[in-house]
Amino acid sequence: MLVHSRAGKLAVRGVFLLLFVPLFAVPLLVIVAASVSTNWSGAFPSGVTTEHYAAATSGDSLKALTTSLVTAVSASLVALLVGGWAALAAASLRARGKRFLDMLFMLPVAVPSVVVGLAVLVAFSRPPVLLNGTRWIVILAHTVLVTAFAYQSVSAAARRLDPMYEQAAASLGARPSYVLWRVKLPLLLPSLTAAAGLCFALSMGELSATMMLYPPDWTPLPVRIFAATDRGSLFTGAAVAVVLMATTLLVLLAVSRIRTRASYR
Amino acid sequence: MTGPGMTSPGATPGGIRFDQVSVAYDGNTVLDRLDLTVEPGEVMALLGPSGSGKTTALRAVAGFVRPSSGRVFLGGRDVTDLPPHRRGIGMVVQQYALFPHMRVADNVAFGLKARKAPKSGIPQLVADALELVGMASYAGRYPRELSGGQQQRVAIARALATRPGVLLLDEPLSALDAQLRSGMLTELARLHRELPDVSILYVTHDQVEALTLADRIAVMDRARLQDCGTPQELYRSPRTEFTASFVGNANLLPVTVADGHVDFAGHQLTVSTGDVAAGVSATLCVRPHLVGLGAGPNALTGTVAEVQWRGSTHRLYVDVEGHRVKADLRELRETPAIGAPATLHFATEDAVLLPVGAADE
C-alpha cells in the first residue's frame, strides 16, 4: 500500500505504533523492567537492583544457558545438514518425490510440539535405543522440531536458484559433486545461514516438548524460566528471560553478519 | 590461445554431427529428425523463431536434453550417452551465467580447475583467455561490477579457457543493446579468425547476426530444419517460402507460371521460370530493397497503404490487387500520400521462383 500524502503517512504510522507498541514492545519492556526491580506493586516497579542478573548468570542458571546453547547449536547443525541435504535432493527429484519429501518434512511443523515430545519420549524410552533420561533425547527432539524449518528455507532457496549456474558449471567440465561444493552451496550460503539462525532461535525458545523430556542434569533456559515463574520468583524469571533473549539476539546478529558478507546480489 | 590448433587433450576436437536427432517432451516433438554437420572450424548459425527447436538442438549437444532418438557426435565421437561435464565443450548463454561469488579470474579458471588442469599452468591460461576478449584488466573484479557486454566477454573467455573444440553460443547477444551488439558481432568474428579450429554452433533468432557471422546457416521452423546453406545462398536463392520471409523479409507473391513469364493478379511478369511447367502455381520471391518506385520492367500498380520513414530508407507498403508489396527505397524527397496510386517495379534477375508451400513439405 502506497500512501503519498503527509497526513496519510502520519496516520499509517500512528496505526502502526498503536498496534506495535502494546502487542510487541510493552511486554518486552515490562520483562526488562521487572528484571531489574526489587518490588512491583503499583503501576510501575520500584527500586533498582542487579541481583536478579547476578543470579541469572551464575550457578544453575549459567549451566542452563550453556545447556540451551549446546542444545540449540547441535540441533541447528544437524537440522541444517539433514534438512539442507534433503532439500537439495528434493530439488533434483520429480514432482511426486518432491511432494512426498515436502509433506514428510511438514509433519513436525503441523503436529503440535507437545505431540512430537511425547512421540520422542515413547519411542526412545525402551531398548534398543534408550535415550530417556539423557541429554540426547532433548537434543534429538529439538532436531526433529527444527529440521522442518531448515528443510523449508533451504528448499525454497534451492528452487529459486537459477539452473543456468549448474549447467554452466557442468558444461565447463565440473562433476556434480564439484558443482555442489563450488557453485551451489556458496550460492545458497545466505539461505543456509538464515536457516541456521531460524533453527537456533526456535531451539533456544523451545519449551513444550522439552518439558516432557529433560533430565535433571540437562535443563535448558526456557524450563528454568518456567520453573522460576511457577515458584513465584517473577523477577528472577524475568532476568533469565532477558539473558535468553539477549543471547539469542546476539547469535542471530552474528549469523546475519555472515549472511551479509555471503550475499552477492 | 597462443596459436592455431591449440586444443587441450581433455577437450573434444572440433566438429558436430546430428544424426536423425529427435527430442520430445510428453509426446510433444520439439526437434524432429535433425540431420546436420558442423565441420571443424566452421560457424553454423541455427536461425529460427522462438519454438523452432534451435535451442533444443544446442542443448542436445551440451547434454542438457536427451534425444528421444538419434545420435549426437562431437569430433567423431558418439556423446549421446555422456553427461554434460564429460563432453568437453564450451558454452555461452544469453544471461552470461557467471558465478556471482567468484572474481572474473576465478570464473575463467573454473573449467580448468574442474578438469584438473596442471595447477602451474592455470594463471597463464586464464590470462590468455582474458587477453583474447580484452578483459585482462578486469581479472580482480566481481561479475556484478561489470556491464552486460563485459560480463558476456568474460563468459566467452570462461568457455574458451579450456580450449574446447566446440563452442556453443545460445543467443549470446540478445541481452545487449543494439550498439553493443554490433560491437560484439565484430569481436566474435575476430575471435573466430583467431581460433580457426573451433566449431561454433550459434543459436539466434536475429538474421543479421546469422548473416554476419556464420559460414553456413541452418534455418529452423516448427521443430524442423527447413533449409541450410551459406548466407549468400539463403539470401539470394532461398529454397523455401519460410527461408525467404525469415531471412531478409522477402515479398512472396502467389503467381501462376505461363510460357516464359508468370501471371500475378492481372500483371504479366517476366522472370526466369527455369523448368517449371506452364500452368503450375508458384511463389515469386522479391527482396524489398530490390523493388523500385516508378514505371519500369515488371511494373506493379496499386495504392499506397503505408509509408514508414526509417532514416536512410523509406519502407512503402503498396496494395496490389489485394496483395501487400513491401519496397525499401532510398530516402524519398517526396513521400507518396497514403491512398495515392503508385507503381513499383523490379528487375527480372532479382526475382526467385519458389514452389508453393515449400515450407510445409
Residue ranges of chain A with per-residue pLDDT less than 50: 265
Cβ neighbours, 10 Å, residue B76: 11
- Report the pLDDT value the prediction gives residue B361, as an integer from 0 to 100: 38
Shortest Cα distance from A256 to chain B (angstroms)?
18
Distances in Å between the Cα of B260 and the Cα atoms of A136, B142, B276 are 97, 66, 10
State the CATH class of domain A52-262. mainly alpha
Boundaries of every domain in chain B? 16-236, 249-356
- The whole-chain average pLDDT of chain B stands at 87
In chain A, which among 119-138 make CB contacts under 8 A with chain B?
Answer: none
Pairwise CA distance, residues B289 & B297, whole Å: 16
Would you say residue B9 has pLDDT above 80? no
Shortest Cα distance from B22 to chain A (angstroms)?
21
CA dihedral A136, A139, A144, A149 (to 10 degrees): -160
Q: Tell if the CB–CB gap between B88 and A183 is shorter than 8 Å.
A: no
Return the half-sphere exposure (C-beta side, CA atoms, 13 A cut-off) of residue B55: 11
Average pLDDT over residues B83-95: 91
Closest residue by Cα to residue A213 from A61, A233, A222: A222
Choose the closest CB to B97 out of A164, A175, A186: A164
Among A161, A164, A166, A171, which would you mutate to test the B interface (most chain B Cβ atoms within 10 Å of its Cβ)?
Answer: A171
The 10s digit of each residue's pLDDT in B294-332 is 888 888 899 999 999 888 888 999 999 888 999 998 888
Boundaries of every domain in chain A? 6-49, 52-262
Cβ neighbours, 10 Å, residue B278: 12
What does CATH list as the number for B16-236? 3.40.50.300
Would you say residue B360 has pLDDT above 50? no
State the count of interchain CB pairs (< 8 A) between A and B: 76
Q: Tell if the CB–CB gap between A182 and B110 is shorter than 8 Å.
A: yes
- Report the pLDDT value the prediction gives residue B146, as an integer from 0 to 100: 92
Q: How sure is the predictor about B357, in pLDDT bands with cuts at 50, 70 and 90? A: low
- Report the pLDDT value the prediction gives residue B173, as an integer from 0 to 100: 87
The 10s digit of each residue's pLDDT in B28-76 is 899 999 999 999 989 999 999 988 999 999 999 999 999 999 999 998 8
- Report the pLDDT value the prediction gives residue B3, as an integer from 0 to 100: 40
- Report the pLDDT value the prediction gives residue B2, as an integer from 0 to 100: 41
Sign of torsion over alpha carbons B334, B339, B340, B345 = positive
Shortest Cα distance from B226 to chain A (angstroms)?
28
- Report the pLDDT value the prediction gives residue B8, as an integer from 0 to 100: 47
Shortest Cα distance from A190 to chain B (angstroms)?
12
Would you say residue B273 has pLDDT above 90? no
- Report the pLDDT value the prediction gives residue B174, as an integer from 0 to 100: 84
CA dihedral B115, B120, B124, B126 (to 10 degrees): 30
- Report the pLDDT value the prediction gives residue B216, as an integer from 0 to 100: 94
Which architecture characterizes domain B249-356 according to CATH? Answer: Beta Barrel (2.40)
CB B210 within 8 A of CB B231: yes
Long-range contacts for B229-238 (Cβ within 8 Å, ≥24 apart)?
A: B235/B211, B236/B352, B237/B352, B238/B285, B238/B352, B238/B354
What pTM was computed for the model?
A: 0.80
Q: Tell if the CB–CB gap between B89 and A171 is shorter than 8 Å.
A: yes
Among B85, B89, B145, B158, which would you mutate to test the A interface (most chain A Cβ atoms within 10 Å of its Cβ)?
Answer: B85
The 10s digit of each residue's pLDDT in B151-176 is 999 999 999 998 898 999 999 888 88
**Cα nearest neighbour of B88 on chain A:** A173
